[in-house]
Structures are given as structure tokens and as C-alpha cells.
Amino acid sequence: MKKIFLPLLCLLLIISQMTGCVEEEKVKEKILIFGMSGDADKLDPADVTDGESISRMDSIFESLVEYTSGGTDIQPALATSWNVSSDGLNITLNLRENVKFHDGTDFNADAVVFSFERQYNTSHPYHEYGEWAYWGYMFSDIESVEKSKEYQVIIHLKNPNAAMMTSLAMFTVAIVSPTNAEKWGEDVFKHPVGTGPFEFVEWVKDDHITLKKNDNYWRDPPKLDKLIFRVIEDPSSRLLAVQAGEIHGMEYPDPASFDIIKADNDLQLLSQAGMNVGYLAMNTGYGYYDDNENGVRDDDEPWVKTPGYFEPLTNVSVRKAINYAINKTSIVENLYKGTAIVAKNGMPPFMLGYNDDVEDFEYDPEKAIELLEEAGYPNGFNTTLWVMPVSRPYMFDPPKIAEAIQSYLADVGINVELYQIDWSTYLEETENGEHPMCLLGWTGDNGDPDNFMNVLYGPNSASIGTAGNVAFYNRSEVQDKFTQALKIYDTDERSRLYEEAQVLIHQDAPFVYLAHATQNIVFRSNVKGYTLNPTERKFFYEVDFE
Amino acid sequence: MILYITKRLLQLIPVILGVTIIAFSLIQIAPGDPARTMLGQHATQKEINEIRDRYGLDEPIIVQYGIWLSGVIRGDLGRSIITNDLVVNEISSRFPNTIELTIAAMIFAILIGGVAGIISASKQYSITDYTVMGVALFGISMPVFWLGIILMMVFGVILGWLPIGGRIDLFIPYQRITGFMVLDSIITFNLPALVSSIKHLILPAVALGTIPMAMIARVTRSSMLEVLRQDFIRTERAKGLSERAVIYKHAVRNAMVPVVTVIGLNFGLLLAGAILTETVFSWPGLGRLVVEAVYERDYPLVVGCILIFAIIFVIVNLITDILYTYIDPRIKYE
């Protein structure tokens, strides 16, 4: 055995040096490899809700409108201009001409109608091939989409919806090639064909997805020749790969590694305020059963006690006390490691209608104890805090944050037991109102305030079993404001309504708003041109190597 | 022998039925459901109901199992609820990756562990012996995850000799034929791909193979020690054979049976249990697939994977048992 071992080793070393020749070739083609924390589920933009799938498709597909660089305002994309009828019920969009899908077929009104109709029309031949998970939730106000000319469509709404234009920038309504969908049928999720700057090449499951430059893109072609998304689940391994230069960028760095990244001259850390909020929700007691599944609490759907009803938390003084008892600044500095800003409202500061005049609860344990005494709990009480076991964009390490909260509350006499269960069950149980208190949060979908406020804090959303409003906050005036703000298109008026709502929410204190986490991406220093977007979608069109 | 093999293979049927019924029931009993995984925080009751309806998730477990089983008989393992891809595709795209890694890890474990155990036994109570056994103890105790990251840091970042995870350098074009990258590179005479895929195999194979290596070292040593005490060894020495011949030509073969048992067991375990190594090294294998499927309550995928694992276990056990007859001719089966 010894006789062959040494020569074999020498041979292997010699061969490995020979492959150095191949590596010189790759410099001529500009290939960027980006590290992702998980694989995509499906590559059909209308059929997914998860960030991993969406991230790959941001470069393949486009929608009628798109976000401005780094923001959530919208600008023309596949639509060149539009107008909204005076009753707010019809949006007419003129479409861009001379745009081709990656399979060579034309982009036109038929393609737009197809992309929308397969989601809402139950008799559409392709309706059965997807779950269309976002449609019911964000686009149910759309009655129909009609082709009025070869390059013009009209979207008919059931109700006026001021958030709809912004929602049209979402991936859910990205325009797909009907020819391609017809070719692949049920398997279309593996063969994405859009109009975007990059074309799909291959998908090796759990390993990588390769895209290549679209030479026929309707704008100038992108600077990169190839874009490869590589799956590296573990954040430490992911960072090691960037440090070694094997990949050129990555998402979701562990905040604990920020010092290392900042100290490394070969790396750059891009950060931006995230469109999210992390909070502690206190179950204020009452929800309703949405029997007719219309998303609205009707008169025949009364308020009933939620399974997690807990008397002390129905008292606003108790909820305020809990707000005063928690040192949010310390949590953000030490547990978020500075990758967040302290939150005082339910949506981040750059959103339309943010009320900066609201004064946050200061860290004041003595005041907390005082309020508890007033409320009739001089000795505090015992309760349970639901904690999610997974890292979320708005909360990197929920168990640690829960421990900190536990400790702060213990200081004022509230003894909290922590309850953890897997993410899927966690969502089920909290949406069912089984918790007295829970940690949760939200990443915005489209950049519109309604997407935060109405979904999370509106009483209509306090439906037991599917609650987005996990504090089961049920003040009706707040719902009135949200409903009104969605119907009117005047931004000043909308802003005023949301600001008023935030004041009421602050008074009732159903939540302890903890933080708005920043979005962080790591790149090697020689990568230029990437701009973070608040929606966390990933746009590589402008990216180049130095 | 053929009869024996056939009999053993027929035993596959009750094993598969038993294992899959248990797996099916357990995953259904666990709270949480795939509809919520798909819809996330945006779930509306209507959509949840629609999805549950489409996949028959509200049918009694017996009915669901029956439907699944009738599909299996026709070779259809169903579609993943989360990705909508055929379960057969999901598994077959990862299967060669897992096999290749396991074989590489076992080669490492057998070569290093076996040799270490033999040397240790032949020099019992010497410094060599204590060192080897000390390293073996260390090997068994080290968490695979930690070891993996340390290896990547040292050999990947600091020394830059070996790559950080993945199966092959993505800049090198390669052709996939069988899915076993090393094999495919050889078949297609693709030298850069061959070198790259071997380089990518080294660290994960070492990380994954460390615990089996330690176990094999210890079992080999104790088995060798027993054999070396036997009378026939004394006879061989008396005949004037060199110590090397005594050990390698005579003792080793006699010591092999317990070692083969351990190897067989480890092979089966590694195939299904490489989840930690796969995560650290971004190796797209079955371990990661099945764990994620469980988290997402992707029932068809979970049960499909467990079916494959059960088959692999039975076959590996069978091969191990057959190997015994070649190592020790005294062992015969009817």
C-alpha cells in the first residue's frame, strides 16, 4: 500500500496544478456567484410566497411597473403609462412594444391577460396548476383584466384600491410567456421564461440556479454574462465562501460576524433600513370567526374570547406597563448588534403615513410597577411567551430576544415561561389566538402602508384561525380609518388617516414594537452597482465587476 | 445462495409497509400543515381549505395511505406539496450526491481506521497504540458540524488548498450522465471536472467519515487482538513467517467479520444521517431533503425519502451478510 500511496499523491498534486490553466478562461466571462440561504421552491412568480424563490425570479421576470432604484415608488416597466378612472374602478395601462420573451415570442396584451387570468379565473385551463397564494390576499379586489388593444389592457376593480398600483410591481403579477406555459403545463415552474435581463439556464436542486445574460433585453443588456445563485444554508459556511472568493456575495449574514466583515478589506457590507417590523404582541382577548371567509367582520360574526384569553392583558395599564418594562434600546444594540433601529410604530419610518410625533414608551421599570399596582397586580403574574425557533428577517435570534424580555419582565414581577414550537405550527397556533403573548413580525410585500397597518392592526384581521392581527386588537375606529385610506387615492388624506390610527394604537398599546431590522448583504469589494431594495427583492441588472 | 438472496429481498415488502405506515402516521399526527408552509403569514382560511382539499389532507389517514400505496405500486411516489415537482425527481437529483459522499467517507474511514486499528493491535500498549486510540476517542467525540467548519476555515480560507462546500467549481463545464460526478468526469474524459469534484469531496468526506473511522479503528484493533492471541497465529510465527505476513496475510482476514458488521451499519447510517455534514458543506443530499420536508410537512416527500432509506438499509444489510460468506467460508446460508 505504501508503494502506491506516495506516487499517487504526487500525481494528484501535479494534476491539480494543471487545472490552473482552466481558471484563466473564466476571467473573460463575467460570472457572479451569489450565496443564498436556501433553495427556491418553484420558479413560477405567481405561485410562490417565499423569498428564496422570488430572489431568483427577480432577474428573470418583470411586471407592468417596477420599483425605483432603492425605493418603493413605482415607475414604468412593461407598461409605459397608465391612468385611473375617476371612480377608481378601472386602471388602463399602455404596454411597451417590441419586447420579447426569452423564448422569442412577443410580449403583448394577451400575455398580460394570461398572467393575471390563470390566477383568478377558476375555469382558465392553467388555473389548476398553481396555488396562486398571493392572489386572494393582495389582488382579490381585481374583478378582471381585459385586453382592449394589442398593447393596452384595462384592470377592472371591484372596489377602489389605492395600493393596487404599487402592488402591480409585485412578482405575483409578473408577466410570463403564455407559449411557454402551454408548452410545459404543470411543469412550468421548472422552466421560467420572462422578459427580464437574465434568462434561465439550469436548476440543480439544492445546489445552484444558473442564469445568463439576455442579449435581446429591451434595455441595454446587463453587464454580467452569467448570474449563479448557490445554496449555502449555514451562515458561517456562507461567509467563509465569500471570504475565500468562491462566491462574490451573500444574503443574511449573521450579525455576530459584522465586525469581521467590516474589518476585511476584501469585503463590503451593504445595509439599508428594512421594510419590516418585529414586535411582541399581547393578546387583548377577543377575536371573531370569519364564517363566510370574506376577510371582514360582519354583524353576524360576534367577538368571542380567543383560546389564549388572559385577563391581565385585557387591561391597557398592564400592556403599557409591559412596554415600560422592556429596554428596547439595549435589545437592539446588544441582540440585534446594531442591525436594527428601535421601533415605536407598527411600520418603518420611510413609509407613507408614518407618525413621527408618537412618543415612544421609555424604559422605566418603576413606572411599570406603578401601573401594574394600579391595575390590581401589585405582585405581578405568571404567563407564557410564544417564541419562534427560526431566524426571521425582522428578528435574527428570537430565542435570545425572548430570554432578554423574560428577564426584563421578571424585574417587574411578571414571570414569563417561554414556549417554542416549529415555525409551521407556530403560525397556526398564533393565528388561532392560542397565545397570551407572542413574538412575531412582518416584512412588507409591496411598499404600501395598507400592507402593514390593515393586515397587522386592523380588527378585520383578528379572525381566529387566520389572524394577521395577533394582538387581536379590535378598536373599530382604527379599522374605519384603514378601510377609508385604502379607498381614496389622495396621498395626503391617506397619510393623515394612517397617522391618526397610529396615535390610537399607541394609546391602546396592544404591542411592544421592538425593531425595524436592517437588510444586510455582503459582497466582495470588487462588485459594484448593487442597490438594496426595501422589499428585499434582488436586482442584479446594474451589477458589474470593477 | 440465490434462494437466500431472493428470500431476503422478499423481506423488503413487510419492512417497507411497516416503515412507511409508521412514517405516514407520525408526520400526519404532528401539528402544522403544508398549506401554511406554502402560504406563510398570508394565509386566508379559504386558501388553506383549498390546498388541503386539493391534496386530500382532510381524508382519514388510512385512505391517504391507501392512495399513496396504490401510486407506489405503479411507480408513482406523488408530487411534493411544496415544490410541485415529482417526488421521484426530488429524490433522484440528490441520491447520487449522497451515495458519492458516503462512499468517499467510508473509503476514508476504512483505509485510515482499518490501518490504524491493525497497527495499533500489532503494537499493543506502545506509544503508537495509545496515540491512535486517543485520536480515535477524539474523533468520536468531535461534533461533525464544528469539525466541518474548522476544516473549511483551515483548508479553505487560511491555506486556500481546498474549496468551501458545493460539489464542483461552478466555472468548470461538466456533463451529467449518472449524477455521480467523479464517475461522470471519468466517462466524459473531463479532467478539470474530475479534479474539481475530487477536491470538493475531500473535506466533507473527512468530516463525515471521522466518526466511522474512529469506530472502525477501535473494532479492528479489538478484533485483531483477539485473533492475534489465537493458537494458529503462534503456529504461523513458528513456521518462520515474517510478522508482516502473519498480520496482513493471516490475522486481518480472520478479524474482518466484526469490522464488516460495523462498516455495514455505518454505511446505512451515513446515507440517511449526513444532514449536518450536508448543511455545513452545502452538499445537496438526501439528508437535507428529508429534514426540510419534515419541517415543511411535505408528506409525500417525507414518506418517499423514508421508503428509499428503508430499501437502502435492507440492501446494505443483505450485502454485508453476503460478504461474510466470502470472508469466512465457514459461514453458509441455506
Per-residue pLDDT tens over the stretch B259-280: 888 888 888 878 766 888 998 8
Question: Which residues of chain B make contact with A464, given a CB cutoff of 8 A?
Answer: none
Contact by Cβ (8 Å): A192, A97: no
CA distance A97 to A393: 38
Task: Look up residue A539 and give its amino acid.
Answer: F
Give the model's confidence band at A506: pLDDT under 50 very low, under 70 low, under 90 confident, else very high. very high
The three cell numbers of residue B44 are 386566508
Packing angle, helices A316-325 and A365-375, rounded to 10: 160
Contacts of B57 in chain A (CB under 8 A): none
- Assigned C-alpha cell, B68: 399513496
Q: In whole angstroms, what is the distance from residue A410 CA to residue A278 CA?
A: 21
Chain B CB within 8 Å of residue A204 CB: yes
At CA B297, angle to CA B291 and CA B303, rounded to 5?
Answer: 70
- Residue A229, strand partner residues: A34, A209
At B88-141, the pLDDT tens digits run: 999 999 999 999 999 999 999 999 999 999 888 888 888 888 988 898 888 888
d(CA A453, CA A490): 17
Strand, coil or helix: A21: helix
- What pLDDT, on the 0 to 100 scale, is given for residue B273? 60
The CA angle A205-A206-A208, to the nearest 5 degrees, is 75
What is the pLDDT, as a whole number, of residue A58? 95
B56 φ, ψ (degrees, to nearest 5): 60, 35
- A431 to B289: CB separation less than 8 angstroms, yes or no: no
Report which of residues B174 and B151 the model is more confident about: B151
Tell whether the model's pLDDT for residue A20 goes beyond 70. Answer: no
* Lookup: cell for B161: 488548498
Query: With contact defined as beta carbons under 8 Å apart, do B117 and B220 qualify?
Result: yes
Coil/strand/helix, residue B77: coil
Q: How confident is the model at residue A12 (pLDDT cuts 50, 70, 90)?
A: low
Identify the weakest region by mean pLDDT among A86-90, A126-130, A330-334, B31-35.
B31-35
Whole-angstrom distance, CA of residue B327 vs CA of residue A208: 43
The neighbouring-strand residues paired with B308 are none
Q: Which helix (H) or strand (E) holds A184?
A: helix A178-184
H or E stretch covering A511:
strand A511-524
User: Chain B contact for A205, CB < 8 A?
Assistant: yes
Name the grid cell of A513.
414594537
To 10 degrees, the CA torsion angle through A236, A237, A239, A245? 160
Comparing CB atoms, the residue among A15, A131, A190 nearest residue B51 is A131
- Do B295 and A424 lie within an 8 Å CB cutoff? yes
Extract the C-alpha cell encoding A265.
Answer: 478589506
Global confidence as pTM: 0.86
Average of per-residue pLDDT values in chain A: 91
Residue-wise pLDDT tens digits, A358-397: 999 999 999 999 999 999 999 999 999 999 888 888 988 8
Best interface-test mutation with B: which of A1, A9, A14, A19 has the largest number of B CBs within 10 A?
Answer: A19
Q: Is A296 on the interface with B (CB under 8 A)?
A: no
CA distance A116 to chain B (A): 17
Cα gap A103→A296, rounded to integer Å? 43
Of the pLDDT bands very low, low, confident and very high (cuts 50, 70, 90), residue A3 is low
A425 touches B31 (CB < 8 A): yes
The grid coordinates of residue B246 equal 502473519
What per-residue confidence (pLDDT) applies to A25? 47
Contact A232/B160, CB-based, under 8 Å?
no
Whole-number Cα distances in Å, A219 to A31, A99, A363, A541, B225:
20, 9, 52, 10, 75
Res B53: pLDDT: 85
Residue B38 and residue A49 in contact, taking contact as beta carbons nearer than 8 Å: yes
Tell if the CB–CB gap between B94 and A18 is shorter than 8 Å.
no
Å between B3 CA and nearest CA of chain A:
38
Give the torsion through C-alpha atoms of A62, A67, A68, A70, to 10 deg. Answer: -110
| Predicted confidence (pLDDT) at residue A22 exceeds the cutoff of 50 | no
Distance CA A43, CA A66 (A): 19
* Residue A161 pLDDT grade (very low, low, confident, very high; cuts 50, 70, 90): very high
Interchain CB distance below 8 Å, A427 and B153: no
Nearest Cα to Cα of residue A65 among A75, A55, A50, A53: A75
- pLDDT band at residue A21 under the 50/70/90 scheme: very low
The answer to whether B281 contacts A237, with C-beta atoms less than 8 Å apart, is yes
pLDDT for B40: 72
Question: Nearest 5°: phi and psi at A443?
Answer: -110, 130
- What span, in angstroms and rounded, lies between the C-alpha atoms of B163 and A246? 8
